[in-house]
Structure 1
Amino acid sequence: MHTPIKPARKARIGLYSVGLQAYWEQFPGLRERLIEYGVFIEKKMAQWAEVFNYGLVDTEAEGRKAGEWLNANNVDLVFCHAATYSTSSTVLPVHQACKTPVVFLNLQPTERIDYERTTTGEWLAHCGACPVPEFANVFNRARMPFRVLNGLLGLDYTPAISLTNEKTNDRPEAIRAWREIEEWIRAASVPRTLKTSRFGFLGNTYSGMLDMYSDFTMIQAQTGLHVEVVEMCDLDRMMKGVTPQEVKQKLEEVRDMFQISGDSPSDPIARKPTDEQLEWSCRVAAAQERLVREYDLDALSYYYHGAPGGEYEKLQGGFIVGHSLLTARGIPCSGEGDLKTALAMKICDILGTGGSFCEVVVTDYVDGTILLGHDGPFHIAISAGKPVLRGMGLYHGKQGTGVSVEAKVKTGPITTLNVTQTGDGKLKLIISEAESTDGPIMRIGNTQTPVKFKMHPDDYMAKWFAEAPTHHCAMSIGHNGSLFAKVGELMEMNCVTIDG
């Protein structure tokens, strides 16, 4: 049901292992053993990415070759496996040639060597930590950023050459290390995907919302994505080509994905959608999908108030259902012309964590929660049950009438991601982990999720507001703080995590 219209791109990951050429004649079998470890790492990484394994690098000349080879394969991130001791002069040339971010892997094959039986050759197969301080020192002096990941290799067998147990895949040190590796790889898919993405900007930004105004050149310069400006007349042109079969198909999607509401028990402007409202929303939804396909869009930010009683006012009144359907299929749609939050939603979507359009709705001081939501598109894939469609007599603060989505995100761990812009024009990520609860929500045709942060609502809001956020954010499912922080690091964005 939620098959992406344009799937996210897998990261291209570079990998190589390092050693010292002088060892190979001195310790027969050591070189082959280390290559075997590298192949194991390659196969495990291939679950999440395209992996380009250069193999063993053991001299500075080989390092230069490896760097050029990694460049030729256009990798997004490089893992250097510290398989045994190696001089830093072997490693530095790799990254002088290939400027891609690097993570050093200090993954020991065994949890404990056999002290009574271990030979020098056996020890050298387990001393990957030995050269890492040297690498760190040299990279620091060369002003080249690096990261180090420590833990166990996580083999599910013991090589015949080994003198100790190397089956460590169930050890927490291996599980933790591979979780971190997976996060780095998934995070690398974000810049890979954004660099080839086309974000539609339809209409304009809601007048006066100064926090949301963005410089398209700044956005492209810092993310690589292209902003395609599309017009309401483009969407109107799509509407003229919509067939009855397309409308019928959208109606079937809507009835499958949504619960059609009765009248709201509390709000006179939130009513049961009429057949005419549903049919119009589905006709607009078909046109919206046509627009996305014609302009090859990966996300869309939109807002258009329209002249009272005009054709475009009626057209924009049918936006929310179709944009929710698109969001569920990998084309995040942000309302009110908030391009930065479209970016936040796309990051969440690339990572497979949802990304629903939110702002602060109200605080519940009894439950200690903050309700987050909006009257705009909702990410159906992370809904607690079927979202409800309500007919709206009016959209507050906007022109027109139509159908809106009433829903909340499923109960459990969530993470909000806010993309804001600082005074010097830099994009900045603000990350908050929390829990969505099963608390009550209003029946007014808006999405709302009661969220319990790790601190009192007042304390949380004080910290959040102090970071000067854009007032919208994306809500994702799961605790994704470290994952989002890695995205920020790879994209060279300032990143702040609000933690209690």
Structure 2
Amino acid sequence: MEFEALKPAKKARIGIYTIGLKAYWNQFPGLKERIEEYGKFLEKKMSVHGDVVNYGLVDTESEARKAGYWFNEQNVDLIFCHSATYSTSSAVLPVHQICKAPVIILNLQPTARINYRDTTTGEWLAHCGACPVPEIANAFNRAKIPFRLVSGLLGLEETPEISLADEKTSHRMEATRAWKKIEEWIRAAAVPRTLRESRFGFLGNTYNGMLDMYSDFTMIQAQTGLHVEVLEMGDLDKMMKDVTDMDVKRKLEEVERMFEISGDSPSDPIARKPTQEQLDWSCKVAAAQEKMVKEFDLDALTYYYHGEPGSYFEKLQSGFIIGHSLLTAKGIPCSGEGDLKTAIAMKIADILGTGGSFSEVMTVDYDDETLLLGHDGPFHIAISEGKPILRGMGLYHGKQGTGVSVEAKVRTGPVTLLNVTQTGDGNLKLIISEGESTDGEIIHVGNTQTPVKFGKHPDQFMEEWFMEAPTHHFAMSVGRNTEIFRKVGELLACKTVTL
């Protein structure tokens, strides 16, 4: 299902420059213009995924300094150093001593094979981008500047007239593999930019006694840049007072489009067909939740509030799940039980367009060798296998109140789990694992549930996962996202573990 985001994720600001040796330009006519055109090709292709600024050619140490200051002015998140021909490392290092944005060296050759018989020195120099890379790497290492590297083919669609070799390499594996890495770096760079400009709502409190989920808001902001806006139930109640009958009607129409309204569960006596009163109340609360998100300019929300039994606030929180599922599908991830770290995991997955549904381990099917992963509470409708089902809940297990819950399954196919936890020294840590969502059975108790098979026995997977000391919730995303999540971890300077 497609949803219009209430607040679209930011695009990364990407810097690029091309390097060369100034002495070559008079010696080999056309070489300078040729490699500049390669740089423009890179700029155009990268612009599909990010906001790209191209400094152009850097061929001296003094030009490198100018480029460094210019990239600072452009507020870039990431810089690609395009190694197009030989350059001294002294004409590269100053860029990154001045601008501290992460740097990736692009070692992309225009042709798969030079024309050995006809190649001139000038022609060879247009294909010797690998030559200075060890020198640059050595200089970066000694200057304590972290760097990354992508090697492969440039991937041109047409051969330039000046070339003596075949430069149509877009179909080659070496080009598609390199461009996949480049795309992942650009998309990953959107995560720290979006997070450091984000406002996460924290409504209520963290579920009492769940020690794994407690986090220091200052630590969260220090490591991600995001602001935590502490909200009260009274803030939501204020929005409730502004909800009109027309707001409720529109929200009910939205719910009827997006969800299947269930009958009674065939097995669980507390999972019933939602009453019209429950649906109307949930839709009124959902309308208020969306108003609150807009009022406080939120990018994500974590929440939990049980309320005094029989109180108004208990009734108010009983209507949370539908609205928070709708918000999650619209780019405002909502995590239950006050789990702020999992809201971050969900937001990372959502920024990357991979979903990110609130989950935990529910049970193991040893016959199918799958783990049933899900939770009561919000679901990312955009990655659902068919229409999610709404069930009336006579009891929110482990919590107070009754209301409407979502029963749904993430669509069949590859999935990647992303866990954001906190280590004993107070640092955030990412734990990543890929699996396969299967078409196995689920239970009909009003929870989101997805049977997932991993590349190892469930016992082995659980032992390895649990030994990493995760937060017990995590975000389930669709697709094989290990590499891009790892890049996010690197850009956020978080320890990252892949199982």
Q: What TM bracket, shorter-length normalisation?
A: over 0.9
Give the equivalent residue in structure 2 for 1:123: 124
Give the equivalent residue in structure 2 for 1:222: 223
Q: Deviations over 1:137-178 (max 9, x none)?
A: 111111110001000000000000000100000000000000
Give the equivalent residue in structure 1 for 2:21: 20
Give the equivalent residue in structure 1 for 2:349: 348
Structure 2 residues not aligned, in runs of 5+: none
Opposite residue 337 of structure 1, the aligned amino acid is: G
Give the equivalent residue in structure 2 for 1:380: 381
Opposite residue 300 of structure 2, the aligned amino acid is: A
SS in structure 1 at match of 2:9: coil
Alignment of 1:306-321 (within 5 A): 306-321=307-322
Alignment of 1:397-412 (within 5 A): 397-412=398-413
- How big is the shift at 1:230? 0.5
SS in structure 1 at match of 2:92: helix
Alignment of 1:454-493 (within 5 A): 454-493=455-494
Give the equivalent residue in structure 1 for 2:83: 82
- How big is the shift at 1:57? 0.2
SS in structure 2 at match of 1:37: helix
Give the equivalent residue in structure 1 for 2:199: 198
Alpha-carbon separation, structure 1, partners of 2:118 and 2:364: 64
SS in structure 1 at match of 2:241: helix
Opposite residue 149 of structure 1, the aligned amino acid is: V
Opposite residue 442 of structure 2, the aligned amino acid is: I
Give the equivalent residue in structure 2 for 1:338: 339
Give the equivalent residue in structure 2 for 1:271: 272
Q: Deviations over 1:314-359 (max 9, x none)?
A: 0000000000000000000000000000000000000000000000
Alpha-carbon separation, structure 2, partners of 1:236 and 1:454: 47
SS in structure 1 at match of 2:325: helix
- How big is the shift at 1:312? 0.3
Give the equivalent residue in structure 1 for 2:107: 106
The question of 1:416 aligning with 2:417 is answered: yes
Opposite residue 128 of structure 1, the aligned amino acid is: G
- How big is the shift at 1:367? 0.4
Alpha-carbon separation, structure 2, partners of 1:192 and 1:330: 16
Give the equivalent residue in structure 2 for 1:150: 151
TM-score by length of 1: 0.99
SS in structure 2 at match of 1:435: strand
The question of 1:63 aligning with 2:61 is answered: no
Q: Deviations over 1:238-259 (max 9, x none)?
A: 1111000000000000000000
- How big is the shift at 1:455? 0.5
Opposite residue 58 of structure 1, the aligned amino acid is: D
TM-score by length of 2: 1.00
SS in structure 2 at match of 1:129: coil
Alpha-carbon separation, structure 2, partners of 1:40 and 1:139: 26
Give the equivalent residue in structure 1 for 2:325: 324
Alpha-carbon separation, structure 2, partners of 1:71 and 1:156: 33
Opposite residue 190 of structure 2, the aligned amino acid is: S
Alpha-carbon separation, structure 1, partners of 2:292 and 2:52: 35
SS in structure 2 at match of 1:241: coil
SS in structure 1 at match of 2:107: strand
- How big is the shift at 1:181? 0.3
- How big is the shift at 1:380? 0.1
- How big is the shift at 1:55? 0.3
- How big is the shift at 1:113? 0.3
Alpha-carbon separation, structure 2, partners of 1:136 and 1:461: 39
Give the equivalent residue in structure 2 for 1:52: 53
Identical-residue share of aligned pairs (%): 74
Opposite residue 28 of structure 1, the aligned amino acid is: P
| Alignment size in residue pairs | 498
- How big is the shift at 1:493? 0.5
Alpha-carbon separation, structure 2, partners of 1:199 and 1:330: 12
Alpha-carbon separation, structure 2, partners of 1:454 and 1:31: 50
Alignment of 1:126-141 (within 5 A): 126-141=127-142
Alpha-carbon separation, structure 2, partners of 1:227 and 1:305: 21
- How big is the shift at 1:12? 0.2
Q: Deviations over 1:293-316 (max 9, x none)?
A: 000000000000100000000000
SS in structure 1 at match of 2:230: strand
- How big is the shift at 1:457? 0.4
Alpha-carbon separation, structure 1, partners of 2:348 and 2:447: 23
- How big is the shift at 1:5? 0.2
Alpha-carbon separation, structure 1, partners of 2:30 and 2:67: 23
Give the equivalent residue in structure 2 for 1:301: 302
Opposite residue 67 of structure 2, the aligned amino acid is: A
- How big is the shift at 1:192? 0.6
RMSD, matched Cα? 0.4
Give the equivalent residue in structure 2 for 1:358: 359
Q: Deviations over 1:389-440 (max 9, x none)?
A: 0000000000000000000000000000000000000000000011000000
Q: Deviations over 1:179-200 (max 9, x none)?
A: 1000000000001101110000
Opposite residue 193 of structure 1, the aligned amino acid is: T
Alpha-carbon separation, structure 2, partners of 1:476 and 1:166: 37
